[in-house]
Amino acid sequence: MIGQFVEALDQFIPVPAEFARYEFGLAAGARILAVDQNLLSAVTAEGMPFAMDSDEGLLFDHVDLINLAMFGSRSGQSIPELAMRYFLRFAASPPATWFGPREWLVRVRTPATPIGGDPTARFRMQRPDVAAPGVEILESDAPANGPPGYQIAVRLTGEEATVRDPVARAIYEEMLHALGSGAVIYQTVPEALRMDHRRAWNLRMADCVVVARSLAERLNDVGLRARARRGYLLALVGNDHSWCELYEDGRWKPLDVVFAHLAGIEAYGARAEFVSTCRGSRFNRLLPCDAPDATALVFLNDQPAPSWAQVGVSAQPWGS
Amino acid sequence: MTSARTLIKENLDNPALLDDIADHDDLIMAGVNSGEMVRIALACERHLDREITDDELTRLKSVRAVADLLEQTGGS
């Protein structure tokens, strides 16, 4: 099994040292990978980036661990692989279900336990953009019990459309090809590097935020009106997702290169027509938030929260 | 309901968390994290011996919902 994890080290780009946060110990890292600690030690000897702490021993960056799990597991059963399959399961449903009005109850909470044992840790969460097209608020309230957060009932209505502008389509296709060919690797990227999206793209590493910000910038550079959005994909859990929007025909049309890329991967089971739908259509399960330029959705002590400090996002049919 | 609780408990990093969760409580709001939710969904698929549909996934938010899903094979 070690061989596939060692090979994986050549299949993703490790987090550059200046962006890395080596905070996860050997035991925690092995749990993420669902492997023995000895195996992770052996992979470290083969090139997995780490820091050595005199008290805690080997420490790893959480993003590197997630990428190692995603590229090294190859079982289809690691948590990152399964999560991706569940998030995209809607793309296997009939296309008619992607656009019609759908009512959701969305609940968002901060982590239940203090981060790093710090009881003064303060979280701030970007709220849904209720002024966005296709978003209609039905009810809004704070949860009665538990950690701070919010809950909102929304009606999300999708729209089937296609981006017509040939320049926009060419840039979109170029970026989609970059991911598909492996010229740029689709992988997890730390939040700080997401905000330096040009550097990330030049390093050949991109996730949905890097792609959305890069595409919006390229479209703006050629004189088109575009913006990067960020919000939640509502599925088994609410998942942080980012996409680009182009203003055309008097309305904002989404351009989702990452959805199109993932839909092209057979293991995720998306319908063939889903790929072209990502070039202009709005889905009824993407809840945009007030996050200008696709900046972070969650802040910890006024800094973008690290990848491991995840909020809980629950989404289910409203009234169920 | 017993087997639904057992299935969920087996997929929590801290199984004792479930003792404080009522049947209709929202699992995620009660502290279950996304990785644990993924493991619960996978365990349901293995129990049912089929893929869970997107609609079923979006409803899988409480002990009661897990029990309702498992009841399809007669064992909640």
Work out the pLDDT band at A282, boundaries 50, 70, 90: very high
Cα separation, A291 vs A81, in Å, equals 27
pLDDT at residue B74 in the model: 55
- Counting Cα atoms < 13 Å in the Cβ hemisphere of A44 gives 19
Distance, CA of B34 to CA of A161 (rounded, Å): 32
Q: Which CATH superfamily is domain B2-73 in?
A: ACP-like (1.10.1200.10)
Task: Say if the Cβ atoms of B54 and A235 lie within 8 Å.
Answer: yes
ipTM: 0.90
pLDDT of residue A130: 93
Secondary structure of residue A88 in the 3-state scheme: coil
Question: Which band of pLDDT confidence, cut at 50, 70 and 90, is reported for residue A305?
Answer: confident
Buried/exposed code over A303-312 (b: 16+ C-beta within 10 A; e: otherwise): ebbbbbbbbb
Interface probe, candidates A98, A283, A285, A316, chain B, greatest B C-beta count within 10 A: A316
CB A69 within 8 Å of CB A79: yes
pLDDT digits (tens), chain B, 76 positions: 779 999 999 999 899 999 999 999 999 999 898 889 999 999 999 999 999 999 999 999 999 999 999 998 655 5
The mean pLDDT value of chain A amounts to 91
In this prediction, residue A78 carries a pLDDT of 76
Q: State which amino acid sits at residue A20.
A: A
Chain B environment of A236 (Cβ under 8 Å): 37-38, 41, 57-58, 60
Degrees to nearest 5, angle at CA A258 with A184 and B40: 115
Confidence (pTM): 0.93
**Percent of residues, chain A, with pLDDT higher than 70:** 95
Tokens of A158: 């999708």
What percent of chain A stands above pLDDT 90? 73
- Answer positive or negative: Cα dihedral of A126, A132, A134, A137: positive
Residue A71 φ then ψ, to 5°: -90, -20
* A88-107: average pLDDT: 94
Question: CB contact, 8 Å: A115 with chain B?
Answer: no
Q: Where are the domains of chain A?
A: 2-75, 88-320
Q: Mutation test of the interface with chain B: which of A237, A271, A307, choosing the one with the most B Cβ atoms within 10 A?
A: A237
- Arithmetic mean of pLDDT, A272-290: 96
> Is it the case that residue A254 has pLDDT exceeding 60?
yes
**What pLDDT, on the 0 to 100 scale, is given for residue A147?**
65
Contact map slice: A 116-145 vs B, CB within 8 A: 143
Distance from C-alpha of A248 to C-alpha of A90, rounded to nearest angstrom: 27
The whole-number pLDDT of residue A34 equals: 80
**Cβ(A4)–Cβ(A72) under 8 Å?**
yes
- Domain range summary for chain B, segments of one domain joined by +: 2-73
Structure confidence at residue B32 (pLDDT)? 92
Phi and psi torsions of A62, nearest 5°: -60, -40
Residue A20 backbone dihedrals phi, psi, to 5 degrees: -80, 150
Quick one: pLDDT at residue A171?
98
> A286: which strand partners?
A233
Query: Beta partners for A227?
Result: A245
A184-198 pLDDT, tens digit each: 999 999 999 999 999
**A65: pLDDT strictly greater than 80:** yes
Instruction: Check whether A74 has a pLDDT greater than 80.
Output: no
Residues 6 or more apart whose CB falls under 8 angstroms from that of A24 comprise A32, A59, A60, A61, A62, A65, A308
Q: pLDDT digit string (tens) for A107-152?
A: 998 876 555 567 677 888 899 999 999 999 998 876 656 667 889 9
The CA distance from A125 to A299, in Å, is 6
**Integer Cα distance of A213 and A199 in angstroms:** 12
Between chain A and chain B, the number of residue pairs with CB atoms below 8 A apart is 72
Containing H/E element for A267? none
Q: Running DSSP on this structure, what letter comes out for residue B22?
A: -
* B24 in contact with A, Cβ within 8 Å: no
What pLDDT is stored for residue A141 in this prediction? 79
Of A59-73, A131-145, A258-272, which gets the smallest average pLDDT? A131-145
Please, are residues A33 and A72 in contact by the beta-carbon 8 Å criterion? yes
In this predicted structure, the answer to whether residue A77 has a pLDDT above a threshold of 90 is: no
User: What pLDDT is stored for residue B1 in this prediction?
Assistant: 74
What's residue A112's pLDDT?
A: 60
Per-residue burial over A143-175, b = 16 or more CB atoms within 10 Å of its CB, e = otherwise: beebbebebbbbebebbebebebeebbebbeeb
> Under CATH, which number does the domain A2-75 receive?
1.10.1660
